[in-house]
Amino acid sequence: MKKRKISNVILTILGLILLSVSALYCFKLVYSHYKRDKETEQVIEELFNIDEDVPTPEMVEESSEEKPKENDFVLTDKYLGYIELSNYGIRRLITTGTDKATLDKGLVGILSVSSGIDDEVGNLIIAGHSTYNTFQKLHYMKIGEEIKIVSHQKTYIYKITEKHTIEDTDMSYFNKITNKKILTLITCKNNGKQRLIVVAELRG
């Protein structure tokens, strides 16, 4: 009887320790995302001088006062722009490359086969993790919803026209486009076994 009580006490203590470790891990994870989001917003504000009260047309030429300062050249070179899913409060900085280390930082990356953000025509291809503060909301976005891309030169508004689930070996949506400007977003689906593809065309 005494041994059983001791065993129950030990199990209770172990259970409490496990719960405490789990709680600490969850807190650390949430805080890490919060800190990263704050840092992202700070960089966006510094590099792109956002003014929420000014309406954004399809393409807006930035004024000379809004261009990055010379001492920001390192940041300007690293971050090509940012993407905004306006209806969901998501903003992510855009960089080059889609390796795990880059995407794990909460960034989204342009594929090597992609056109440039400011190219007049082409297929701008951007990939990001399917996490709550990056591209997870793409799963819920609908045809007709808008996506904003802001570069150091212009602001572009794209409207979603297609959504597809593909195998990770399917490259058919990464083709070059020569007659119009489109945006192709990629994120994981079904625990990384498949990919979600969201295609959007430049508005107007």
User: Do 123 and 179 meet the contact criterion of CB atoms below 8 Å apart?
Assistant: no
Sequence letter at residue 151:
S
User: Do 127 and 186 meet the contact criterion of CB atoms below 8 Å apart?
Assistant: yes
Length of the chain: 204
Instruction: Write down all domains in the chain, each with its CATH number in brackets.
Output: 37-202 (2.40.260.10)
- Kindly give the confidence (pLDDT) of every residue in the chain, 204 residues in length, as a single tens digit, with 9 standing for 90 and above: 666 666 777 777 777 787 777 666 565 555 566 677 777 888 888 887 655 444 444 444 444 444 444 433 334 458 999 999 978 989 999 999 899 999 998 999 999 999 999 999 999 999 999 998 899 999 999 999 999 999 999 999 999 999 999 998 999 999 999 999 999 999 999 988 999 999 999 985
User: Do 158 and 123 meet the contact criterion of CB atoms below 8 Å apart?
Assistant: no
Residue 135 — φ and ψ, nearest 5°?
-110, 15
Q: Quick one: tokens of 36?
A: 């990263």
Sequence letter at residue 111:
L
**pLDDT score for 56:** 45
**pLDDT score for 36:** 72
- Residue 103: CB partners within 8 Å, gap ≥ 6? 109, 127, 128, 129, 134
